[in-house]
Amino acid sequence: MLRTLRHSWQWIGGMTNGIAVLASIAMSSQATLAGTVPTFDHIVIVIEENHGYSQIIGSSSAPYINSLAQEGANFTNSHGVTHPSQPNYLALFSGSTQGVTNDNCPLTFSGANLATQLQGINLTFTGYSESMPSAGYTGCSYNSLYYRKHNPWVDFTNIASSLNQPFTSFPTTFANLPTVSVVVPNEQNDMHDGTITQGDTWLKNNLDAYVQWAKTHNSLLILTFDEDNGTSSNRIATIFVGAHVKQGAYSENINHYNILRTIEASLGLPGLNNAANATPITDSWQ
């Protein structure tokens, strides 16, 4: 009888240890998942212009953007990398300002960038610029609405001109979107020359259908600004909304390199240039 009791306790002890091991594995898996970025089918990045965080978040002139901030992840300590505009676009696209400190045009580079990274793993990229007159256009400006300084992919000689598209080519069937898209409104609609209300309305009219679709189709919208209105803190609004996003306000200090690193982490890519030293955003996901 003692032998039977001993075997019973051994079995119970083994089962308990087994349960403990399984629980440990489960907790470890949860911790690992919590530290990762979801793999998205489509990511659309929209870049607005030259407004600080407090000019946008809480502003009655931007009701749509504020609705996105309420339903998505609102990053309250997000910053541009520098001033003026052009090096910030380059930073977000290539992980480096490429040594640029002005808005001069034209510029030419041949190094790695987000598009070449995606192509290297058989994923796709397209940039869509509003008011650009034709696909592959390389001019510095057009009709005081389109400016090449806001279109970094045209500066890289290793990117096919077919990936440089006007916004009129943005797919209305969102399943046909490339893996990563960058959308740049024109000078009126990105708030550079137009009003906050104008930019907010344009965003709602042109991207809300994608936002609603993204929530149920494993896709993401990233809304950010190139820089603020010229202050040293360079604090800007950045919002994630779409599938897997955990609603809330997030206070970690981030910049364009963290955003690029997050996109790269989602798609299994290494960090590029300065993004290699940036931490991906991992706390804003369900």
The 10s digit of each residue's pLDDT in 48-96 is: 999 999 999 999 999 999 999 999 999 999 999 999 999 999 999 999 9
Q: Which amino acid is at 132?
A: M
What are the residue boundaries of the structural domains of the chain, listed by start?
A: 1-34, 39-277
**Helix axes 196-215 and 63-71, enclosed angle (nearest 10):** 30
Among residues 73, 38, 47, the alpha carbon closest in space to that of 223 is found at 47
> Residue 269: is its pLDDT beyond 60?
yes
159-218 residue pLDDT tens: 999 999 999 999 999 999 999 999 999 999 999 999 999 999 999 999 999 999 999 999
CA distance 13 to 17: 6
Omega of the bond leading into 87 within 30 degrees of 0 (cis): no
Contact 83, 227 (CB under 8 A): yes
What percent helix, strand, coil does the chain show, rounded to 5? Answer: 40, 20, 40
Tokens standing for 48? 């607005």
Q: What is the largest CA-CA distance in the chain?
A: 95
* The listed CATH number (3.50.50.60, 3.10.105.10, 3.30.70.1290, 3.40.720.10) that belongs to domain 39-277: 3.40.720.10
User: Which residue, 78, 82, 21, is CA-closest to 240?
Assistant: 78
Tokens representing residue 172 in the block: 């209305």
